[in-house]
Structure 1
Amino acid sequence: MAFQWFPGHMHKTRKEIAQVIAKIDVVVEMLDARLPCSSSNPLVDQLRGDTPVIKVLNKADLADAGRTRKWLKFLAADDVHTMSMRLADKGELRQLVALIRQLAPHRISAERPVRVMIMGIPNVGKSTLINSFLGRRVAKVGNEPAVTKQQQRFVTQDGIAIFDTPGILWPKIEDEDASYRLAASGAIRDTVVEYELVALYALDFLLRDYPQLIAQRYKADELPANASDALELVGRKRGCLRSGGVVDRNKAAELLIGELRSGQLGRISFETVGEWQQKRARAERERMAAEAEQDNYSAAAENTPSAPGEHHES
């Protein structure tokens, strides 16, 4: 099951970005360091064209540091610059400002503001970054998606003109893993999320990749056999019980997701570079197979003899 959430303002934002992107000097794409590929909107690269981009892996303090280092190296390319960031770290903010200036020397030499567009999915820290740039709270911030509903423009004391955009997802999230990870991280509004399904997905992943964190957080002497048993464990350890001692699984799921998002479970990265390389290779094989099948079908159709009496114009 894949979760989808593409409200009307996201479509409007996409059109507005396309109208102004030619005037932008640098794009800063905010990603969630815990799920860099799942939180990377394919529309960003389509919309920015040749505009230089800095991919910022935000919330790095919540992510697995070893995996983050590998992601930074993997995402870097000739026209793509990367850095990890904790928005409370002023030193990292200065590094970002310096990199922005480096990518727009023509604006600096002309003593004109560098025009920067902040882009990314909902609830990844765009507004918090802008407030950090300005040193005061001007952009709305909230621990839920879709707080910003329209484009905003601000100018910093450093001479940077910042265009803030509402968070946009893409109309159809085809990768099921990505949709569950986006839901678990809070990028998809909770009203379209079934807590228990997301919690079971997260627990299955945690038991496989970070079993020690489950054991530590919920004081389990023995690890549960599966995600369903793990949810029962969370419910009992946290007192999510109904009459008769039955675990309230929805309440336990909501509690687990809250602790996961806040980092109370520990530093976690939902995906690895190796996994996405395998997925990309598999998708390429499937694409090539589909093209070959279409070519074979077309060739067979061309070689099929015409029926008696059938006339073809030359």
Structure 2
Amino acid sequence: MSSVIQWFPGHMNKAKREVSEKLKYVDIVFELVDARLPLSSRNPLLDQILQQKPRLIILNKTDLADPQQTKLWQGWFQSQGFLTVAINAHNNSTSKQVVQAAKEVLKEKRAKDKTRGLKPRSIRAMVVGIPNVGKSTLMNRLVGKKIAQTGNKPGVTKGQQWLKSGNDLELLDTPGILWPRFEDPAVGKKLALTGAIKDQLLHLDDIAIYGLSFFCKYYPGKVAQRYKLPDSAEESPANELLMEITAKRGYKDDYERGSELVVVEIRQNKLGAFTLDRFGEGSEEAHE
């Protein structure tokens, strides 16, 4: 994993500059995270970049995540002063959920604008998030098929496009992607298991072993059930478990193939919904 966990300051500085420049055009930032790893899929520099800009944290892919963990993380974000909304961006109800939550975040500001005699207008927002958290899916869901430039607005003249979402929301299309800094190797493994890092860059057996260890610890019985093994098999070291699964599937000694099977099936929720960032195990305390 050491070859994957690298730091690219040039790329990060460019993305940071792009987001900073666009902040003045929006009322709110939608910070999109993967509900399976609410902390590990956040960019640690966002707080510095966004500063006091109103923010809505959107936990996406809730259909893949452990619902109990999602509720705990939502409560934690709220304790940090952030309103959150938990969604599956593929659902039709997503737009309504996000717009309502954005209005709640901006309630005081909009009330002040009203007392100053300013006419209410649609909310202008920007979506930020690391790869594979579902940014494109969310934007497509919010905008639907009515993708259109809304015209005479700051940013359009710079080649930026405002995407209209009904009458209540406009999105500033932002191509810049922010990556986290991989200071903790465990973060890299979590992102790898959920597909945020290209498989070609990884040792798949390391990721499969990590995934099997995780499931045996937090969701006991799921591995044995999925691969038709005795429950006692989960007591074996994860590398031996991988060998057993590979043999059981008839792959002989092709552990690469066995590893790919395990990783793909975990991602497809064949072993059930899961959350890799476990609330209450100290990781959230480091972010307070």
TM-score class, shorter-chain normalisation, is 0.7 to 0.9
1:121 aligned to which of 108, 120, 130: 130
1:204 corresponds to: 213
2:188 alignment counterpart: 179
Shift of 1:280: 2.2
- The answer to whether residue 157 in structure 2 is matched with residue 157 in structure 1 is no
For 1:278 and 1:99, the matched residues in 2 are separated by 23
Equivalent runs, 1:191-270 vs 2, <5 Å = 191-222=200-231, 223-224=233-234, 225-239=236-250, 241=251, 245-246=252-253, 248-270=254-276
Q: d(CA) in 2 for partners of 1:163 and 1:37? A: 25
Instruction: Specify the alignment match of 1:86 in structure 2.
Output: 88
Are 2:30 and 1:28 equivalent residues in the alignment?
yes
Normalised to the residue count of structure 2, the TM-score between the two structures is: 0.83
Q: Say if 2:42 and 2:129, in contact at 8 Å, map to a contact too.
A: yes
Query: Max radius of gyration: which structure?
Result: 1
- Alpha-carbon distance in 2 for matches of 1:270, 1:110: 45
Alpha-carbon distance change, 51 to 278 in structure 1, aligned in 2, over 3 angstroms: closer
Q: Give the conservation status (yes or no) of the 8 Å contact 2:29–2:55.
A: yes
Match of 2:54 among 39, 52, 60: 52
Take 1:102 and 1:279, find their aligned partners in 2: how far apart are those partners? 27
Q: Percent identity?
A: 33
Asked whether the equivalents of residues 44 and 119 of structure 1 are also in contact (C-alpha less than 8 Å), the reply is no
- Aligned CA RMSD, in angstroms, stands at 2.7
**Is the CA contact (8 Å cut-off) linking 1:127 and 1:164 kept in structure 2?**
no
SS at 1:275 equivalent: coil
Which shows bigger deviation, 87-96 or 119-128? 87-96
Scaled by the length of structure 1, the TM-score of the pair is: 0.76
Distance 1:60 1:267 in 2: 9
Asked if 1:130 is matched to 2:134, the reply is no
The Cα of 1:268 is off from its aligned counterpart by: 0.8
Letter in 2 for 1:199: A
Quote the Cα distance in structure 2 between the aligned partners of 1:10 and 1:158: 34
5+ residue gaps, structure 1, are 139-149, 285-314
Partners of 1:187 and 1:260 lie apart in 2 by: 14
What residue identity is the alignment partner of 2:189?
A: Y
Query: Which stretch shifts more, 99-108 or 67-76?
Result: 99-108
CA offsets 1:88-127 (integer angstroms, 9 cap, x no match): 3223431211121233353786233321110111010111
- 1:101-112 equivalent positions in 2, closer than 5 A: 101-105=103-107, 106=110, 110-112=119-121
Q: Secondary structure at the match of 1:162?
A: strand
- SS of the equivalent of 1:117 reads strand
For 2:11 and 2:146, locate their aligned partners in 1 and report how far apart those are by CA, in whole Å. Answer: 23
Q: Equivalent residue for 1:69?
A: 71
Question: 1:4 is matched with which residue?
Answer: 5
Q: Deviations over 1:9-60 (max 9, x none)?
A: 5543221101121332111111111111111111222211101111111111
Distance 1:97 1:69 in 2: 20
How far, CA to CA, are the matches of 2:189 and 2:125 in structure 1?
Answer: 31
More deviation in 161-170 or 28-37? 161-170
Q: Does the C-alpha gap of structure 1 residues 85 and 234 become closer, same or farther in structure 2, counting only changes over 3 Å? A: same
2:15 maps to which residue? 13
Q: Which has the higher helix share?
A: 1
Match of residue 303 from structure 1: none
The Cα shift of 1:65 comes to 0.9
**Contact residue 32 and residue 59 of structure 2 kept, 8 A:** yes
**Contiguous gaps of at least 5 residues in structure 2:** 148-158
Per-residue deviation, 1:5: 5.4
Q: CA 1:152–1:260 in structure 2 vs 1: closer, same or farther (change >3 Å)?
A: farther
In structure 2, C-alpha distance between the alignment counterparts of 1:84 and 1:212, rounded to whole Å: 27
Q: Specify the SS of the correspondent of 1:38.
A: coil
Say whether the 8 Å CA contact 2:90–2:138 is kept in structure 1. no
Deviation at 1:180, TM superposition (A): 0.5
Stretch of structure 1 that moved more, 103-112 or 38-47: 103-112
